[in-house]
């Protein structure tokens, strides 16, 4: 009942080709192409409404693209169970009557199969995943009792229990205090050492530049994709954010070409 597709190891872990997505007459994503190799750590940055969550859902195979295609190890995402999607914390019902271990075990369900029950190996994997993210002592807690950082770690543990090779994290750092953010970013480094490919949506350009190998700048279209020094240049950023904004080094850029021009004539 649950499909499992074999990986072709010579193919990139993720290839996105000419991807567009339209719904309700609006274009959410347009003509996006890029690919990732296993073990990369990529930050997806862009203004609010740029389509970061939508892009993740298409890559995860939850939404279907209107045009173009997504392939994971050479085949469409619909057959893969190796893609871990970590939701925004605001999307979760934290009063739901489940423990931390219950949630992490959910990651095993595809491997258990229909009518299958968790075996010792599954519980061992859950335990190991919780230890990796450093919250093994909280396994029996109801999920609402966790702090924001611990909640994110729980979902990463679930993706580890799922044996996810590609993890998509939607704004995992939002709403966390500085120590929790640092802890989570350190954990991402550990995931990379385990060979997990990580895509993180964030709006903090400075963190993105410091902790990620490459940045993907999105504003419905792919504005730029490269190492931080390539992407975080004023003339590139202005194409995604428009208006004016403050760069990580404190420099302020202002988009003078369009808005100012009209006022000059008035």
Q: Which of residues 171-230 bind other proteins (CB under 8 A)?
A: none
Could you tell me which of 42, 48, 157 has the C-alpha nearest to residue 99?
Answer: 157
CB of 157 to other proteins, least distance (A): 13
**Nearer Cβ to other proteins (4/210):** 4
CB of 170 to other proteins, least distance (A): 10
Positions 42 through 71 that interact with other proteins (CB under 8 A): 57, 60-62
3-state DSSP assignment of residue 83: strand
Do the beta carbons of residue 20 and residue 68 sit within 8 Å?
Answer: yes
Within 92-131, the residues that bind other proteins by CB under 8 A are 92-93, 96-99, 102-103, 105-107, 109-110, 112, 114-115, 117
Strands (E) across 1-48 are located at 14-23, 26-36, 41-45
Nearest approach in angstroms of CB 177 to other proteins is 25
76 is an interface residue for other proteins by CB under 8 A: no
The CB-of-60 to other proteins minimum distance in angstroms stands at 5
Smallest CA-to-CA distance from 70 within 41, 44, 32 is with 32
Residue 50 CB neighbours (<10 A): 23
Q: Does 88 bind other proteins (CB under 8 A)?
A: no
When asked if residue 87 is in the footprint of other proteins (CB under 8 A), the reply is: yes
Sign of the Cα torsion 16, 20, 23, 28 reads: positive
Q: Give every CB contact of residue 46 below 8 A, 6+ residues apart in sequence.
A: 52, 203, 217, 218, 219, 223, 240
Q: Which residues contact 51 (CB under 8 A, 6 or more apart)?
A: 21, 28, 29, 218, 219, 220
Give yes or no for residue 83 binding other proteins (CB under 8 A).
yes
Residues within window 153-172 making contact with other proteins, judged by CB under 8 A:
158, 162
Is residue 25 a contact point for other proteins (CB under 8 A)?
no
The site for other proteins (CB under 8 A) is made up of: 1-3, 57, 60-62, 78-81, 83-85, 87, 91-93, 96-99, 102-103, 105-107, 109-110, 112, 114-115, 117, 142, 144, 158, 162
């Amino acid at each position: 009942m649950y499909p499992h597709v074999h990986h072709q190891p010579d193919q990139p872990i993720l290839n996105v080709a000419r991807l567009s997505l339209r719904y309700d007459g609006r274009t959410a994503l347009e003509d996006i192409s890029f690919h990732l190799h296993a073990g990369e750590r990529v930050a997806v940055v862009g203004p609010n409404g740029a389509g970061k969550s939508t892009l993740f859902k298409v890559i995860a195979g939850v939404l279907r693209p209107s045009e173009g295609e997504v392939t994971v190890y050479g085949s469409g995402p619909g057959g893969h169970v190796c893609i871990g999607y970590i939701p925004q914390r605001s999307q979760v019902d934290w009063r739901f009557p489940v423990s931390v271990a219950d949630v992490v075990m959910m990651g095993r369900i595809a491997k258990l199969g229909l009518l299958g029950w968790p075996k010792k190996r599954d519980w061992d994997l859950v335990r190991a995943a919780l230890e990796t993210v450093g919250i093994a002592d909280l396994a029996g807690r109801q999920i609402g009792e966790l702090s924001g950082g611990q909640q994110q770690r729980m979902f990463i543990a679930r993706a580890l229990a799922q044996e996810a090779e590609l993890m998509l994290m939607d704004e995992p750092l939002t709403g966390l205090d500085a120590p929790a953010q640092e802890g989570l970013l350190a954990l991402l480094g550990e995931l990379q050492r385990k060979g997990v490919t990580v895509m993180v949506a964030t709006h903090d350009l400075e963190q993105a530049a410091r902790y990620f190998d490459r940045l993907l700048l999105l504003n419905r279209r792919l504005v730029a994709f490269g190492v931080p020094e390539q992407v975080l240049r004023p003339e590139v950023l202005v194409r995604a954010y428009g208006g004016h904004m403050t760069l990580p080094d404190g420099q302020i850029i202002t988009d003078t070409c369009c808005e100012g021009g009209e006022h000059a004539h008035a």
